[in-house]
Structure 1
Amino acid sequence: MDDPLYQRLSPSTGASLVTPWADEAKAASSQYGYTTDLGTPFKASSSASSGLSAIHRLWNPTTIDFTDVVAGSSAFTKARSAGYVDQGVRYYALANAVSGRTQPINSYVKSGKHRLATATTGKTLEASGWKLDAVAFYVPAAPAASTPAPTPTPVPTTPAPPAVSEGTTASNGSAGSLAVGSASYPAPSNAIYVSTNGNDGNSGSVSSPVRTINRGLAIAPTGGTVVVRGGVYRESVTISKQVTLQNYSKEAVWLDGSTPVSGWVADGTTWRKDGWTTRFDHSPTYTQGAKDSTVPYWQFVNPNTYPMAAHPDQVFVNGSPLQQVKSKSLVKDGTFYLDEGTSKLYIGSNPSGKTVEASTTVKALSIRGANSVVRGIGVRRYSPSVFHIASVTIEQPGVQLENVVIADSATTGLSVQREKVKLNQVTVTGSGMLGIHGRFADNLTMTKVLSTKNNDEHFNLAPVSGGAKFGASRGITVVNSSFSGNYGHGFWEDVSVYNSVFRQSDFSDNTGTGLFLEISAKVVVGDSTFARNQEFGIKVNNTSNVKIWNNTFVGNGRPLNIVQDTRRNTNRYDQAVDPRISWPDPEMPWTLGPVTVRNNVIANPTTAANCLVCVEDYSATKTAEQMGVTFNGNVYGRATSKPTWLAIWSRGKVNPNPYVFTTLAAFKSTTGQEARGREYVGTNIVDGNLKLTSAVKSVEASVAEALPSDVATAIGRTAGSRTLGRW
C-alpha cells in the first residue's frame, strides 16, 4: 500500500474528500469548495490485492458530505440507511490491524459531516469539537522520522491569481465579429429582401420586402440570397436549403429571443408582472427530463451555490441581464424571480423609464441547409435548455458563419455538429454554460473567433462549461482566435478528438485551464499566448502525439500540466469512443505521449503553482521518458524563488514519488532534458507586452531549436527559424 491519498478540506464545513486521483483533488477545489489542501497524509493501494478490502466512497447529496468505509461493513450499511449514495470503490486498505505495522485511519463526525484523519491529527480535531465515530480502515504505519523524498502535491488550489508584474494580457485584439451593423456584403439582383416594415404577402423584392426572415427563406430559391434590413426580428429561424442569409449593407440586424415586458406594479421592494406564462424546461443535463447527477464531476449544477443555473428564464433591463434567484425573498437590485405557481414575475430593479425584456423563445437559428452562409447577423437572448444543445445549431456540412455575434444564450451559444464548417470572425459571449459546442465537427476551421465571458450562470466546470468544448471530431484548426475570460476552461478537447492545430491564438484569463487536451491525439500548439489562467496554461491529459512550440506562458497556475491517469481505450462501448471510427483505433490509445515541448517562454506562475514543468503518471506505470515527453530550447523565469520546484518528473514504476528539481541545472543533469534551455530567477524575462526582454532576446538564437518543417507548416511560420515564445 504505497499509493498516496490526496485529501482536500472544505473550510466552511470542515468535511473532507479523500481520493487517489490528483485531478479529482484539483476539481474538488473549483467545483465543490474543498479548497484547503491537506496534502497526502496517508497511503493505501489503488489496486486490489490479497488481504486488502475495498474502500467505497459514499456521498450524501443533501448534506454535501463524503464518507469512506469498508465495503460490507456496519459503517457502510449505516451510511446507506442515512441516505448516502455509494459511488463505488475508490482504493484498497486493511479492514483489520496488523500489530506493529499499521495505523488506524479514524472517521470523525461534527454537525453531520465526516472527516478522515490519523490518530495524531484526530487529537487536534477532538479539541475543536469533532467526535471519534469509528476506525474506518487501516493503512501502513508512518515511517520513523527521516528525510524522505519529497512528494509534491500534484494539483494546487486555484485562488484568483495575483497581478503579474510582467504585464497585462496578450489578448488577440483582432478576434471576433465586426460590430453588428458594420458588415457590408454585395447583394445579387435576384435577392429576397426582409424588412420590419414589410409584409409576408409581398414578393420580397427590394421595394416590396417580406416581414419575417422565415418567409424570406421560404421563397428564396436554392442557392439564393436573403438580405435583411436593419431591425429586431423576434423569431426562431430554420434554414432548410442552401442559401445565404445576410444583413443589408451597414445595417444592424438582430435575431432576438426576448419580448418587451410592460405592466409592472410595485410590490414592496420589488416590481411584479402578473400573468407571465412563458415556461422553459430546466432539465440540467443533455437528457430531457433526467435529474442531475449527484456524482462529483458529472454534476452540471451546484445546488448550493448556483441552484438556478439550468433554468433558461432570462430578464434584461436596458439590455443588462438580471440574475435569477430561487425565491421572492432573495430578490434585490439586479435579480429576478419567477413564481411558476402564480405566474408572477418579480424584478428587483426599478423598471420606471427603462426597457424591460424577457426571453420567450428557445432556438434562434437551426441551419439544416448544406453549404449555407450566414453573415452580418446578431443573435441574442434565446433560451435553449441544456438538451436543446445551443441557440444556433449547424446541422449540415459546409456551412459558413462570418461576422456573426451570438450573445446572452441561456445555456450554449453555438453548436457545430457536421463537417467542413468555417467560422470566421464570430463572437460568442454571455452564454449561460458554454460558448461553443462541437461533435462530429470534422475539418472545422475557426478563424478570428472570440469566445469570452461564457458560463456566466456558473455551471460546474465539469462535465461541460467555458469557452468551447469539442468531442469526437477530426481535423480542427484554430487560427487568430481568442478563448479568454471564461468561467471554466478556455478551449477543451475531450473524448477522441484527432488532428488539431492551434496557432496565433490567445487562451487567457479563464478560471479553469487555457487549453485542455483530454483523451485525444495528434495536436500542434504554436505561436500562442497563455496568460493568467487560474488552473493551468495547457493541460495534456492522456493525449498522444502533442507538439507544443513557441508559446508564451505567463501568470498561470501550473503553466504546463502533462499527466497520465488510468484511462485507456480498451472498451469499444465507452462513451468517449468516436462511434464513427473502426475500433480498436491505434491512433487513439488514450495514453500520454509523445509530447514535444520546444522554444516556449514559461514565466511567473501564480502562488497556486508548485512547478513550471509538471509531468506525472498517476497510474504509476511509466517514467516521463517512457511516455516520450521531452523538453528543450525553452526559457524559464521566476521573478522570485517561487515556486520552489522548477520541474516534477514522473519515475513510473521505479518510484511512485516523481523527481522534483529546484533548478534547471539539476533537471538537466538527472534527466538529460533541456540541453539548450535557460533559467532566470529574480528577473522578468518578458516585458509588459509579453515580448522578450533584451537580455533573453540576446541569447535567443543559441537557446531556441530550429523550427521543423512539419510544425512550421502547421503554425504558418518559416521552417528553420529560431524564436523563443510567440512571434
Structure 2
Amino acid sequence: MTTCVVMFRGPQLISGFIENVLLHDRTGSLSTLSPPMNGRASLMNSPFPRMDWRRARVLLPVLLSVACGEAPSLESLGTEESALGTPVTVAFQEQVSPSATYTGASDTTLLESTPGINSGADTTIRMDRDYPTSSGQVSNGLLRFDLSAIPANATVQSVRLTVFVKNATTGEGYFVHAAGRPWTEAQATWTNATSTTTWASGGASGAADRGATSFATLLPGATGSYGVDLNAEGVAAVQGWVQNAGTNHGFVVDAPTNMDGLELDSSESATLVNRPKLTVTYALPTSSGGTGLLGQYFTGANFQALTVERTDPTVNFDWGTNAPVSGLPADGFSVRWTGQVMPLYSQTYTFFTQSDDGVRLWVNGQQLVNNWTDHGSVENSGTVTLTANQKYDLQLEYYDSTNSSVAKLSWSSASQPKQIIPVDQLFPATAQQPGNPGLTGLDNTGKTIPDTNYAIPAGAIFLATNGNDSNAGTQAAPVATLNRAIALVPSGGTIVVRGGTYRDWYNNGAGNYKVATKPMTLQAYPHEQPWFDGTDLKPASAWTADGAGHWYMDWSTPSFCNGGYYNYKYDAQPTTNTGPCSHFDMYGDPANPAAGDPQMVFIDGTYVHEVKTLAEATPGNFFYDWTNRRIYLATNPTGHTVEVAARPIALVLGGTGYSLKGLGFKRYATNEYSGTTSAAVYIGATNGFVENCVFTQMAAGSLSLKPQGGVVRRSVFASNGFTAIGSNGSTNSNPVVPDGLLLEENIVNANNTERFGTNCSRSCAQAGVKIAHMNGFTVRNNVFEYNLNGAGFWCDEDCRGGVMVGNISRNNKIGIFYEVSDTGIIASNLIYDNTYAGIQTCSANTKIYNNTLVDNAAISIWIYDDSRNEQDRRGSDIGPDTANVDVSNNIMSGGNITTLKASRSDSNFTNTGPNTFFSGLDYNSYYRSGGSGKSLVNWVDTGGVNYTSLAAVRVDRGWETHGHDLASGGDPFFVNQSLRNYVVRPSSVAYNSGKPLPADVAQALGVPAGTVTSRGALNWPGR
C-alpha cells in the first residue's frame, strides 16, 4: 500500500494548494507538491481569486486523490450536495446553444508555414506536426467558449468537449491545454496572439502561452462526432473561468510528438451541429446568503419621520388602502430600501419597478428609474451592465400619496427570466446610526481602499510587486514599474495593478516626472489593495550617529517643487508669489513653521513633525538641513521602520480619457504652490475619472484635475498636508467652455494638516476641496469633515452654474463657501459644528434652499458682497456684485453669535449691500438656543442693525413673513438632535411648511417642481 501525506498549516494554505500546486503530469504521475509559503502568495496568480471554503471542500478531495495517484470520478463530489441545488447542464455551440443567438465560440489554426497569416475564418481547425507534408513544420489549434451565461457562484461538476472529426488520427493523441494569454480569433497567427501582442514562442508553445497540464487527449480513430471529458484539472480551470471571465483564454490543442494530422470542423462550419461544443454541468448553491434589503418606513411622503426599520426579504408589496406597517398612516408615507444586489450573470440587466405612487431607483450609483409623481400602478424600467457574483449598491425610494399603494422590484437579463428579485440576491444595508450621519462602505481615515471587483479586459497589462520589467506584462508575467506598464499599454488599454506597495512614480529616468499622453485605465485587481507610496524605506544602516543624540543621512531631492526645490529655501519663498514650493503668505503657522517644506519622515508608519533647527530636533520630529542637504532624526533608527519622502508625484496625465479605479496613493512630497507637483496625481486631461481611490498623507495636495468631463466618485481624501482636491475651470479662459466637474459620494476628511493659510493675506486656498473659475459643476452627497483652518468645500472666483446638494459639511472652519461667483444652487446640505460659518457666499443669482445648519459657531448663513467686482483690476476673474439671492426653506439652529448675517463689505458705490441682495428671504426657521436676546439677523448696509426678532425684520425689511422665530425650550425641529438625527419631526413647525420648490432647485434635488417640503435638508449621506 502506498501512503500519501500532504501537510498544511491552515485553510489559506489548503486554498493555495488547490489553486497553485501542479497536481500531476500528463502520464498521471506526481510531478511536484510545493505549496506556497503563505496564503497571500497563493492568491497572486490564482484562477480562483475568491474561492470560498465551501468550494475548496468540494475540490480538495478530488485534487488530493489525484496527487496521491488515484483517479476519482466526479461523482465523488456528492459529499457537498446538501449545499448545492439540482445540477444544470448547458452546451455552448456557435449559433446553436444556449440559443441560436450565441456567438461566443472562437477558434483558429496557427500555421508555422505561414507565420503571419490568420486562419480565423477557416471552416477547419488543423493540428499537425508535419504540415505541409514533409516540411517538418507544425500547426496548432486554438479554441475558446464564452461561459458568461453560467452564474459566477456556480460549482462546475463536469465539462465535455465535443468536436466533429474530418480527418482521424493515430498515435499518442493531441493534448488540450489552457491558453495562458488573451488572443483574438481574427488576429491570431503563428507569431501573434493579437495584432499588438506576440506569443512567447511561436504557435502558442511558450510556458506563458499555455498551461503545462493537459486537460484531455484527442485521439479519434474515425471521422464524425467525437467527445472527451475534461479531467479534474480541466474542471478546475473552467471553474476559474466561470468565477472570473477575464481569465478565460480557452484552449491550445497540440501534440508532443510527430503524429498524423487531425482536422476538425470549426465554428465557421456551414453545418451548425458539427461546430465545436463545450458542455458544462454545474450546480448553484441553495442560497447566495442574501437576506433582503433594509426597509426604512417614514411618516410623510418625503421621508420626514423615520418610524420603522426592518429587513424586507423582497420588494413585492401591494398594500391596497392599508398602512404598510403598524405606526404608519395608510396614506402619506414613504419607504427607502437600501442594500446591495448580486447578479448571477455578467450581462446587461433590466430593473423594473411597479409602483403607485412615486418611485426612484439607483443601482451602482446610476439612476435607472425616476417617476416621482402621483400616479396609478405603472411599470418603469432601466438598464445597467453588471458583473456576475459582484455586489452592487441599490437604493429604491417610494412614496404613497393617497388611495392604493404598490411597490415591487423585479429584474431580467438575457439569461435571467423576469422575476421579483429574490431574497438570496439581496443584501441589506446596515441601519445607519442616528449619531453618525455619513457615507457607508468607505474608511474615512484613508487607511484602506474600498473593495473593488472590476472586470479585467482582454489584453490588459499587469503590474505586480513581484513583476519584472523584462516580462510581457501578462497576468502570468507581470511588469514591475509604472514606466514599463505605461509603455506597454496600448492607447485606450488597461493596466491591472496587483495588491501590495509600489514605491514608484511615472518619471523620465532623470529624476523628474514624465507626462503620460495616451488614454488608459489603471485599476485594482479584484479585491486587492494596491498602494503607490512616495517614500523610500531607509534602514538603520543608512543613518550615521552624530554623537549628539541625532542620526543623519545625506539627502538630496532636486525633483521636489517642480524641480526648483533648491532655488529658494522653503521658508524664504519669493514675495512675488512665484513659488516654487509655496506662496509666500501660506506658511508660517506658529505650530508648524516648516509647513512649506515637502520633506516628510514616517517612523513605524507614523508621520513625525518637521522642525526648523537641529537644536529643536527631539524624538518624534526631524530636521532637514536644506543648505547642506542632510536629514536628521532624534530617534535611533535601529529597531524602527523609517520611511522618507522621495518622490514629488505619482502620475502626471495629459490628453484625455484617464480612469483610476480602486488605487491608493500616499505620502508623496507634493507642494502647496500651484503647479504640476502640487498633487500626487495631476490629471491635466479632459474626461478624467477617479473612483474608489484613496489619497492620504501627502505633504500638500493630493489630486488636481482638469474639470472638463471630470468625475471623482466614492473616494477618500484624508490627512493630506494641504487642500485635498483642486481644479481650475474655464471661465477665465477664451473661449469659455463647459466644465461639468462632478464630485460625488466622496469623503474629504482632516486635510490641511500642515496648517497652511493661518495668516494668509493674498493666496488663501486652504480647504477640503478648492475649485475656481468653474463653468458648471455638481458637488453632491459628499462628506467634508475636520478640514483644518478652511472650508469643507470652496468654489472661488467667477464660478458659474454650481450645484451643491445633499452634502454633509461638519467640523471645518466654514461648511460651504461660494465666493465672488454667479449662479448657483446650495440646497439640502447638512452643515453642523463648523468653527466659524455654515454657508458663506458673496455670489449673485444664487439659491440657498432647504439646508439644515446646526451649531456653527459664529454664523449659520453669511451673505455679503466682496469689495472686488467685475470692474476692478482683476476683471473677468471676479463674478458680479451680490444680487438676486434667494434664501428659503432653511433651518438655522444653535448658539451662534448671529444666525443670519447680511453685510456690505465696502462702502464703494459700485458694490451692493443687503438692501439689494435678496430676491427671496422667507420660509426659514430660526432657533437660538441661547435665548431671544442674541442677535438673530445682523444687517449691515449703509448702517448696521442687529435684529433680535423676525418681527423687527418684517417691519424694517419686509422679509421673513413666513419665517419661524424660536428662542425658548429645547430643540424645536429634529427627531433627536442629541443623537445627530436631523430628520424633521412631524410635530415641528418646520414639518411640511416650506415654500414650493422652484424648478431648478427641484431638478437638482430630484423632485417635481413646486413640491412643498419640510424646511431643512431633505436628504444627506446616511439618511
Q: TM-score, normalised by structure 1?
A: 0.69
Q: Supply the AA of the counterpart residue of 2:656.
A: A
**Alignment-derived partner of residue 19 in structure 1:** none
Q: CA deviation at 1:699?
A: 2.5
1:569 equivalent in structure 2: 870
Shift of 1:404: 1.0
Return the offset for 1:691. Answer: 4.1
Distance 2:815 2:440 in 1: 17
Counterpart check, 1:259 vs 2:528: no
Q: In structure 2, how many angstroms separate the alpha carbons of the residues matched to 1:417 and 1:360?
A: 26
1: CA distance between counterparts of 2:811 and 2:437? 10
How much does 1:251 deviate?
1.2
Amino acid at match of 2:704: S
Residue 332 in 1 paired to residue 618 in 2?
yes
- Output one character per residue of 1:553-577: Cα deviation in whole Å (capped at 9) or x when no partner: 1111211111113311014x62x73
Q: Distance in 1 between matches of 2:435 and 2:811?
A: 10
Amino acid of the structure 2 residue aligned with 1:497: C
Amino acid of the structure 2 residue aligned with 1:641: G
Tell me, in whole angstroms, the C-alpha distance in 2 between the residues paired with 1:174 and 1:250.
14
The Cα offsets for residues 200-227 of structure 1, whole Å up to 9 and x where unpaired, read as: 1111111111111221121111111111
SS in 2 for 1:329: helix
User: Would the aligned equivalents of 2:453 and 2:525 in 1 still touch at CA under 8 Å?
Assistant: yes
Q: Is the 8 A contact 2:687 2:711 kept in 1?
A: yes
Q: Where do 1:53-132 residues align within 5 Å?
A: none
1:451 and 2:748 aligned: yes
Equivalent residues of 2:690, 2:712 under 8 A apart: yes
1:516 counterpart (817, 834, 845): 817
Contact kept in structure 2, 1:596 and 1:630, CA below 8 Å: yes
**Structure 1 residues 707 and 689: CA distance shift in structure 2, 3 A:** farther
Matches for 1:592-611 after TM superposition, within 5 Å: 592-606=882-896, 609=897, 611=898
Q: Is the 8 A contact 1:284 1:292 kept in 2?
A: no
Residues in 1 aligned to 2:564 and 2:1007: alpha-carbon distance in whole angstroms: 42
Aligned to 2:65: none
Q: CA deviation at 1:181?
A: 6.5
Cα distance in 1, alignment partners of residues 959 and 584 from structure 2: 38
Unaligned 5+ segments in structure 1 are 1-166, 579-587
1:236-247 alignment, distance < 5 Å: 236-237=505-506, 238-247=515-524
Q: Select the residue among 916, 921, 929 that pairs with 1:631.
A: 921
Contact 2:820–2:866 (Cα < 8 Å) also in 1: no
Given that 1:407 and 1:431 are in contact with CA atoms closer than 8 Å, whether structure 2 keeps it comes out as yes
- Is the alpha carbon distance of 1:172 and 1:600 closer, same or farther for their aligned partners in structure 2, counting shifts above 3 Å? farther
Contact 1:366 1:393 in 2 (8 A): yes
Residue equivalent to 1:505? 807
Task: Return closer, same or farther for 1:174/1:333 CA change in 2, 3 Å cut-off.
Answer: same
Between the aligned partners of 2:704 and 2:933, the Cα distance in structure 1 is 40
Q: Distance in 2 between matches of 1:308 and 1:196?
A: 34
Change over 3 Å in CA distance of 1:544–1:664 after alignment to 2 = same
- Structure 1 residues 551 and 409: CA distance shift in structure 2, 3 A: same
State the secondary structure of the residue aligned to 2:966.
strand
Map 1:65-464 → 2, pairs under 5 A: 170-173=437-440, 179-180=448-449, 182-237=451-506, 238-262=515-539, 263=541, 264=543, 270-279=549-558, 281=560, 291-293=573-575, 299-302=585-588, 304-385=590-671, 386=673, 387=675, 388-440=677-729, 442-461=739-758, 462=760, 463-464=764-765
Compute the displacement of 1:428 (Å). Answer: 1.5
Q: 1:661 aligns to what?
A: 947
In 2, are the aligned partners of 1:175 and 1:481 still within 8 Å (CA)?
A: no
Q: Is the 8 A contact 1:393 1:416 kept in 2?
A: yes
> What secondary structure, in the 3-state scheme, does the structure 1 residue paired with 2:847 have?
strand
The residue type equivalent to 1:459 in the other structure is F
1:638/1:684 contact within 8 Å kept:
no
8 A Cα contact 1:560 1:613, kept in partner: yes
The letter of the residue matching 1:416 is L
Change in CA separation of 1:509 and 1:374 when aligned onto 2, cut-off 3 Å: same
Counterpart contact for 1:550–1:601, Cα < 8 Å = yes
How far the C-alpha of 1:684 sits from its partner, in A, is 1.5
Does residue 1:717 correspond to 2:996, yes or no?
no
In the superposition, the TM-score normalised over structure 2's length comes to 0.50
Between the two structures, name the one with larger relative contact order (CA 8 Å, sep ≥ 6). 1
What are the Cα deviations for residues 532-570 of structure 1, in whole angstroms up to 9, with x where unaligned? 1112111112x1011111111111121111111331101
Distance 2:863 2:725 in 1: 25
Instruction: Provide the residue aligned with 2:971 in structure 1.
Output: 684
CA RMSD of superposed structures (Å): 2.9
1:529-544 equivalences under 5 Å are 529-541=830-842, 543-544=843-844
- Are residues 1:493 and 2:795 paired? yes
Matching residue's letter, 2:721: G
Contact 2:801–2:823, Cα closer than 8 Å, also in 1: yes
| Cα distance, 1:644 vs structure 2 | 1.4
Q: Secondary structure at the match of 1:577?
A: helix
- Relative distance call for 1:176 and 1:503 in structure 2 (3 A) is farther
CA pair 269-516 structure 1, distance change in 2 beyond 3 A: farther
Most deviating of 369-378 and 382-391:
382-391
Q: Distance in 2 between matches of 1:681 and 1:604?
A: 10
Stretch deviating more after TM superposition (344-353 or 457-466)? 344-353
Give the greater-gyration-radius structure (CA).
2
Counterparts of 1:635 and 1:246, CA distance in 2: 47
User: 1:679-710, CA deviations, whole angstroms, 9 ceiling, x for partnerless residues?
Assistant: 22132133224445877744335631122222
SS at match of 2:1000: helix
- 2-side partners of 1:659 and 1:298: how far apart? 38
Query: Using a 3 Å threshold, how does the CA distance of structure 1 residues 427 and 286 change in structure 2: closer, same or farther?
Result: farther
Q: Is the 8 A contact 2:847 2:887 kept in 1?
A: yes
Say if 1:694 and 1:459 are closer, same or farther in 2 by CA, change over 3 A: closer
User: What residue is the counterpart of 2:956 in the other structure?
Assistant: 670
| Equivalent-residue separation in structure 2 for 1:206 and 1:726 (angstroms) | 48
Measured in 2, the distance between the counterparts of 1:474 and 1:678 equals 36
Q: Indicate yes or no: 2:612 matched with 1:612.
A: no
SS at match of 2:685: coil
- 1:507 aligned counterpart, secondary structure: strand
Give a deviation string over 1:155-196, Cα, whole Å, max 9, x none. xxxxxxxxxxxx966444566789326221110121111112
In structure 1, distance between residues paired with 2:549 and 2:933: 50
Percentage of pairs with the same residue: 28
In 2 relative to 1, CA 619–275 (structure 1 residues): closer, same or farther, beyond 3 Å? closer
Q: CA deviation at 1:293?
A: 3.8
1:255–1:378 Cα contact (<8 Å) kept: yes
C-alpha separation in 2, matches of 1:220 and 1:695: 56
- State the Cα distance separating 1:325 from its structure 2 match: 0.4
Instruction: Write the distance in 2 (CA, Å) between the matches of 1:708 and 1:217.
Output: 49
Shift of 1:287: 14
Report the CA distance shift for 1:384/1:643 in structure 2 as closer, same or farther (over 3 A).
farther
Q: How many residues align?
A: 540
